[in-house]
Amino acid sequence: MDKEFNASKLDLNQFLRTKRHPVLLWSVRVLVILVGCFIGAVSLNSFLVPAHILAGGLTGVAQYIHHFISVPIGTLYFLFNIPLFFLGYRYLGKRFILLTGVGIVGLSLFIDLLHFNFSLTTKDPLLMSLYGGVLSGISSGIIFRVGGSSGGTDILSLVFHRLTGRSVGSLGFSMNVVVVLLSITIFSVEAGMYTLVAMFAASRVVNALLNYQNRKTALIVSTKADAIAQAIGEQLGRGSTIMGAYGSYTHAPTQVLMCALTHLELTDLKLLCRRIDANVFIAVVPTTEVIGRFRNLPV
């Protein structure tokens, strides 16, 4: 079962198995977030901005305002995120919001400081929107994978979900509709349509990287299920159910622990389980609906 657990060589969680060294764990997460911010800045500065295409969320709003005043896009984005950061600190998990703070600062600095001229042979706005959207999706996806975000509507959506229980995507969708309308007002209808293409490409890439489902169910097979359940309750604030079982081949007794949680908690869950039982087997199942007492924790 251990070999089966390690089958995904591209999983970012492979890089995060540094649980015996908390400082190194945080360092790896921060490094991955900064790499994601770098990719996001390249997406904006080298593809979207030259093609007069607005990015999604607050980045697009910052682009819109930059069109009228000389304040840099990254600076505007940082200023917009200051109140959101404190809002997130109040309602979201501290680990998540601190990593998000790294993402906000990193993306803002990279947007203002890094301007690469790739001397692209094509100026086709469709290609620019597609590549810009794909890079933007890669940026957001890898940052999400290590339990952070780059701020903006990510914070607003999660706080909104925490307070109301409604879909995380609804607020982000509303913001993107506004961005598309803004794009039409300062550029053209075609620019607004290309903005939609970039947003769609980014969302598809994020979904592919995260295999996104807001809720997931983890089935954890381990002889140390009691210790894992206690750690899940103490560190993640989640309840779980333990069921008796036995191996179909060895007939050795074991236990199966079932826990429903959000996708942003998966990284910590995997590290937690591996720390307690190196031979643990974890199957993660997409969960479209949970009926009962499920707390919608965003992190």
User: Is the pTM above the cut of 0.75?
Assistant: no
Residue 259 sits at φ, ψ, to 5 deg, of -140, 125
Residues spanned by the domain of 107: 22-210
For the stretch 66-103, pLDDT in tens is 999 989 999 999 999 999 898 888 887 788 888 999 99
Number of domains in the chain: 2
Give the pLDDT confidence score for residue 282 in this predicted structure: 92
Confidence of residue 285 (pLDDT cuts 50, 70, 90): confident
For the stretch 187-215, pLDDT in tens is 888 888 998 898 888 888 887 776 544 67
Apex 273 CA angle, 13 and 224, nearest 5: 160
259 plus 189 within the same structural domain: no
41 plus 186 within the same structural domain: yes
Nearest to 199 by CA among 221, 219, 174: 174
For the stretch 146-164, pLDDT in tens is 888 888 888 887 777 677 7
Give the pLDDT confidence score for residue 21 in this predicted structure: 66
58 plus 27 within the same structural domain: yes
101 plus 238 within the same structural domain: no
Choice between 273 and 236, residue whose per-residue pLDDT is larger: 273
In whole angstroms, give the CA distance from residue 222 to residue 1. 10
Confidence of residue 115 (pLDDT cuts 50, 70, 90): confident
Residue 217 sits at φ, ψ, to 5 deg, of -120, 125
The CATH number covering residue 234 comes to 3.30.70.120
Confidence of residue 111 (pLDDT cuts 50, 70, 90): very high
Q: What's the mean pLDDT in 262-267?
A: 79
Domain boundary among 210, 230, 262: 210
Q: Give, in order, the Cα–Cα distances in Å from 36 to each of 103, 151, 158.
A: 8, 13, 20
pLDDT, averaged across the chain: 81
For the stretch 22-77, pLDDT in tens is 778 888 889 999 999 999 999 999 899 888 898 888 898 999 999 999 899 999 99
In whole angstroms, give the CA distance from residue 162 to residue 298. 7
Q: In this structure, how many other beta carbons lie within 10 angstroms of the beta carbon of residue 211?
A: 11
153 plus 220 within the same structural domain: no
114 plus 198 within the same structural domain: yes
